[in-house]
Every structure is written in C-alpha cells, then in structure tokens.
Structure 1
Amino acid sequence: MLVTLNDLLPNEAASNGAVACCNVFGIEEAKAIIGAAEALDRPVILAVNKDMVDLAGVEAMAGLLLPLAKASTAKVCVHLDHCYEEAIVFRAIHCGFTSVMFDGSQLPLEENIRRTKNVVEVAHAVGVSVEGELGSVPYQEGRDHIKSAFTVPEEATIYAKESGIDALAVSVGNVHRMTEAGSPIDFPLLAKLQAATTLPLVIHGTTGISETDLLKLKTQRIAKFNVGTTLRMAFGNAIREAMTNEPKKFDKQYFAAKAMPALQQEAMRVLALLS
C-alpha cells in the first residue's frame, strides 16, 4: 500500500516506536526490505539517495519502486532523500514519489525557510509530504560541502512554523555512514528540540547509534530513522561470501539473489528494534 510520511509519522511520533527509512539501490534491496516489512507487519519507507538520483534519475526509480509499494500488503512510502535542488524535487513529485526531502541545511536560516516553503507549497498541493533539515548531520568520511552543526532549538521553532514542513531532521550528535556504533547523542538538546516544535522528528545516521540509545530515542518524538550503512554491509558482505564460495559463477542477479535473505534478515532486525 502506497502511503506518505503524513500517513505514518504522526502516529509513530506519539508512540514508543518509529518507522525505518531504508536506502534502496535496486530491485533486490527494495524487495528484501518490503519483504521484511510484510513479515513483521510494519510500515517502511524506501529512500532514494543522491547516488541513485545521479545514476538512474528519479523517473526510473519511481518506475521501479512505485509498483512494488502499491502491490505490498505493508504500508510503503517512496521517499526522495537529501535533495538540494528544487528542480529534482519537483520531478520526483511529478513522477509519483509520495514524500520528498528538500535539504537546505547548508543554507542560512532565512534562505532555508524560503526555499523549503516553496517546495512545501508545491508538494502539499498534490498531497506529497515534505521533510526538511535544520542544523547539519555530518558524514563520517567528511564531505567538503557538508558542515557539522547541531540544531538550534530557537531556530527550529521558527523553521518549523514558517517552512510548513511535515517532519524535521535534526542534528544531535548523529553522523551519516558510520560502520560501527559510536555517535554520542545529546539527549538534553533533543529534549529542548522536542519542546521547540511539535513536528515529528527524524534521525539520520542510525547505524552509528548504539542500540541502547536507539531504544531510548524511539520512545521520544523521533518518528523516522534513516538506515543505510548496516543494510549495505549485510548485502555486500553476503555477496562477497557467495562470490568467494562460487568463483565460477558470474551473473550479478545470481549473487544478488543469494544475498537477499541476509539483507532481509538485517532489515527485519532494524524494523523490530524500532517497533
């Protein structure tokens, strides 16, 4: 069943659980992750990141993911992750994405509000939900164009009210693309952010957060956790093992199929942890 963030996040924010937003790079990941959601009777968000936008384009990814989402017995949101260009966001909306993230986190507050608000007006006119980011969640490997900045509660109040977004991604110590848990979460800051806005909050960089902190975070107003690295590691390691064990095989689809159960198992672990 195809849904938007607004069909999922308000209920998750009010509960002691949250929904997983999983990066997908092809049909194998999409089917394994949807399979995990169906097995656990949990909703899931399929996220298309910048790498896949650059490689395939939003139109091709919509063509791949939307039929799978519509056919699923689980609630599935098809979401455009971190996008810095309005033109791409509008293309994603036009071809059927049910949720988009316009990432103005690298912009001054006023410009972030202005540009995010423009996206919101277009998206809401056709029933598409919008995620924004305030502060800036860094990457473990470092990226020249991405700063590291905690979310300021006073700015969160202004941004949430004036932009009109449906969900707010925050920076409270979380870090993108960590391969091991080790991000120290600033829970006092998170408490201030929860007091600053009533919006559902989003955590990016889930793989880098300890299970203890995740269990605590999901009971807060965190409604959405973005998950990528741990899923890619499970899938990639399983492919590597299969290729090592069968050196005379060479078909990509053969090895991807061999690795899908490991990916689905890891997705089930994450969905169960957050539920």
Structure 2
Amino acid sequence: MTLVTLEQAFQPALRDGYAVAGLVTLGWEDMRAYVAAAEAEGVPVILQAGPSCRAHTPLPILGKMFTHLAEEASVPVVAHLDHGYEADEARLAIDSGFTSVMYDGSRKPLTQNIDETAAIVEMAHAAGVSCEGEIGFVGYSGGEQSAGTDPDEAAQFARDTGVDAMAISVGNVHLQQDVGDGLDVARIRAIEAVTDVPLVIHGGSGVPLAQRQMLSRQSRVCKFNIGTELRMAFGTALRAAVTSDPDRFDRVQIMKDTHDPLVAATRSVLQGFKPAQR
C-alpha cells in the first residue's frame, strides 16, 4: 500500500530538490498509464480528480480506482481532489478514500476565501488528510483572466488557513496548449520570502521545461499540475487508434492502443521534475 497524503509526498521533495506531478485524470485509461509511468521513472505521483472528471465519474468510484492503483503501485501515490468548491464535496472525497483535497475559493474575497479554506483544512486534518488552497486566481486560456498572487495576502492566507500547500498565480494559465513565456520568478521569490508553505503551480503544461526543472530544484514549488499536455497526447493516440482500422469497433481494444503512447508522454513530463543528477 503506497497511498500517501500530499504533505507526506512533499517532505522528501523539499529535502531532495524535486517536484511531484499532479496529473489530471479523466478515466481509468489515463490514471493507469500515469501510475505505470511513475513506476518506470521511480517517482511519486498525484492522481487528481478535477471537476470534469467528477462530472463523468462519481467520487466514491474514483476513490476506489485511485486506492486500487495505489495498493498495487511500487511508488507513493496521492489521491487528490482538484478544484473542490463545496465543503460537502471535500467531505465526500475524504469519505471515499482521498488523501488530499483542494478547496478553491480563489474567486472569492480574501477574508471569505481564508475562512472557508480554514474550515476545509480543519475537516481534512481531523481525518488525517492534506489540504491545498489557492490564493490569487489562475485564469484560463481563452477565458477568465488571471489575478496575480499578492505576497502579503499569500502570507496571511497561509498563516490563517493552515493549508499544507498553496496554489499561486504567477503567470500560469489553465488549459494552455502551447508553451508560454514562463512564470514570474520574482513574484515566486517574494512569496517564498514571507511563507514556508509548499507552493503549487496550476496550468503547468504552459511552463517551459527549463523553468519547470529550475523551480523543481531551486524553489518551494513542490507540485506542478499537468492536464492539457497529457490530454493532447491521449487524444492523439486515441485518434490514431480509431483511424488505424475502420472495421474495429471494440473500445477495449481501441483504448488499449493509447496506453503505451500515454505512458511515454507521461514519463517525459515526470523527468522534468526530477532532482539534479549528483
């Protein structure tokens, strides 16, 4: 059994200079490939159930899937609720075997975000579960615009909520298909100067590889969320599988052909978060 909390996954990452990938899952095929890739690379992995995943599959089922994969895995696995918006949702995730929950109050006024996040932290910690919060707002490519994290507000948020990890807005964007210009490292350093809470970068697909590596090894960024990059790899593999034989209709056989390409793409992502060679 290698199911661990977010806090347990982060302690060695901080000590040894690496980050852990929070991989956004949509179904059995991708989560299984993610664990296989993590095992091949010998690194921990965070399986994340975001809103679109939860709309497709109920949390109790996702909890069993994550737990089963963790029980069979040779590396630490975190079962994480990504972008939870309601206390009841966090409670259900905890009851379903998740070891980490994120409460996203980033669209709300600071005081309300702090109060609501603190309540989720208290509930999670009482159950032995980690909690991630978000301060500042990470926007969406082609959608809502970001609001950068204010370091002073980040310090207050970390202090008053007791979160185990803090998602920040420093130039990162959700659902970005192309690599962007990079994150605002000066803002990251300013946040690090006022709090020692592990930091999280959502929208990691748009962060250049060199910057992923640098921050993994030389900052308190312990987690990069990766979704779009691997969704695109899965979509490419699925499209090839469907078109390779127009007479094939068995979805199990079609889905099977996505496994190896997705494992390879995931391994490439995971390699970018490893510690420097010694």
For the 8 Å contact 1:2–1:70, the answer to whether it is kept is: yes
Q: Aligned equivalents of 2:244 and 2:112: distance in 1?
A: 53
Measured after TM superposition, the shift of residue 158 of structure 1 is: 0.6
Inter-partner Cα distance in structure 2 for 1:123 and 1:15: 27
Match of 1:218, SS state, is: helix
**Residue matched to 1:163:** 161
2:124 equivalent to 1:126: no
Match status 1:80 vs 2:81: yes
- For residues 90-129 of structure 1, the aligned pairs below 5 Å read 90-129=91-130
Amino acid at match of 1:154: D
In structure 2, C-alpha distance between the alignment counterparts of 1:32 and 1:66, rounded to whole Å:
15
2:242 aligns with 243
Q: C-alpha separation between the residues in 1 aligned to 2:245 and 2:193?
A: 55
1:47-98 per-residue CA deviation (whole Å, 9 max, x = no partner) reads 0010111222211111222111122111000000011111111110111100
CA-to-aligned-CA distance 1:228-247 (integer Å, 9 cap, x gap): 11111111101101211111
Distance 1:200 1:15 in 2: 14
Deviation at 1:249, TM superposition (A): 0.6
1:193 offset after TM fit, Å?
0.5
- Given that 1:10 and 1:200 are in contact with CA atoms closer than 8 Å, whether structure 2 keeps it comes out as no
CA distance in 2, matches of 1:96, 1:63: 7
How far apart, in 1, do the equivalents of 2:257 and 2:55 lie? Answer: 27
Specify the alignment match of 1:25 in structure 2.
Answer: 26
Residue identity in the other structure for 2:186: P
SS in structure 1 of the partner of residue 187 of structure 2: helix
2:171 is the counterpart of 1:173: yes
Q: Tell me whether 1:252 sits opposite 2:251 in the alignment.
A: yes
Whether the 8 Å contact between 1:174 and 1:183 is mirrored in structure 2 is no
Aligned 1:190-269 pairs, distance under 5 A = 190-219=188-217, 220-269=219-268
Counterpart in the other structure of 1:8? 9
- Name the SS of the counterpart of 1:202 in structure 2: strand
Structure 2 distance, partners of 1:53, 1:28, is: 15
1:271 counterpart residue number = 270
TM-score by structure 1 length?
0.96
Deviations 1:188-228 (A, max 9, x none): 11100111110110011111111122122212111011011
Residue 148 in structure 1 maps to residue 146 in structure 2: yes
After TM superposition, the structure 1 = structure 2 runs for residues 60-75 of structure 1, keeping only pairs within 5 Å, are: 60-75=61-76
| 1:14 CA drift (Å) | 3.5
Please list the CA deviations of residues 37-56 of structure 1 after superposition, one character each: whole Å capped at 9, or x if unmatched: 11111000000010111222
- Count residues in correspondence: 272
What 5-or-longer segments of structure 2 have no aligned partner?
none
Structure 1: gaps of 5 or more residues: none
**Conserved 8 A contact 1:14-1:221:** no
Paired letter, 1:117: A
Cα RMSD (Å)? 1.1
Following TM superposition, the consecutive aligned residue runs of length 4 or more in structure 1 with deviations greater than 6 angstroms are none
Name the counterpart of 1:47: 48
1:13 is displaced (CA, Å) by 2.6
**Residue 48 of structure 1 contacts residue 79 of structure 1 at CA under 8 Å; is this kept in 2?**
yes
Within 2, Cα distance between the matches of 1:114 and 1:120?
Answer: 10
Cα 1:124/1:69, change in 2 over 3 Å:
same
* Cα deviation digits, residues 96-145 of structure 1 (max 9, x gap): 100000001011111011001111111101100000000011110214xx
How far apart, CA to CA, are the structure 1 residues paired with 2:12 and 2:74? Answer: 19
The structural deviation recorded for 1:178 is: 0.8
Structure 1 residue 183 displacement after superposition: 4.2
Distance 2:266 2:4 in 1: 19
